Amino acid sequence: MPAAKQIEFGGHALVWVGDWSPASARAAISSAARNGYDYIELAIFDPWNFDTKLTKDLLQEFGLRAHASLGLSAHNDVTSTDPAIVAKGDELLRKVADVLHELGGTELCGVIYSALAKYPSAATKENRTNSVRAMQRLADYTADKGINIDLEIVNRYESNIMNTGMEGLDFLDEVNRPNAFLHLDTYHMNIEEDGMQKSVIAAGDRLGYVHIGESHRGYLGSGNVDFDSFFAALKQINYKGPITFESFSSAVVDPSLSNTLCVWRNLWSDSDDLAKKSLDFMKARY
Asked if the model's pLDDT at residue 253 lies above 90, the reply is: no
Convert the pLDDT of each residue in 161-220 to its tens digit: 999 999 999 999 999 999 999 999 999 999 999 999 999 999 999 999 999 999 999 999
pLDDT given for residue 101 in this prediction: 98
Active site residues: 152, 246
- Nearest Cα residue to 31 out of 273, 247, 243: 273
Using pLDDT thresholds of 50, 70 and 90, give the confidence band for residue 249: confident
Q: How far apart are CA 123 and CA 216, in angstroms?
A: 27
CATH for 8-285? 3.20.20.150
- Report the mean per-residue pLDDT for the chain: 95
Convert the pLDDT of each residue in 105-123 to its tens digit: 999 999 999 999 999 999 9
Element (H, E) at 276: helix 271-285
Q: What mean pLDDT do residues 266-274 have? A: 85
Check: CB of residue 165 under 8 Å from CB of residue 199.
Answer: yes
Convert the pLDDT of each residue in 233-244 to its tens digit: 999 999 999 999
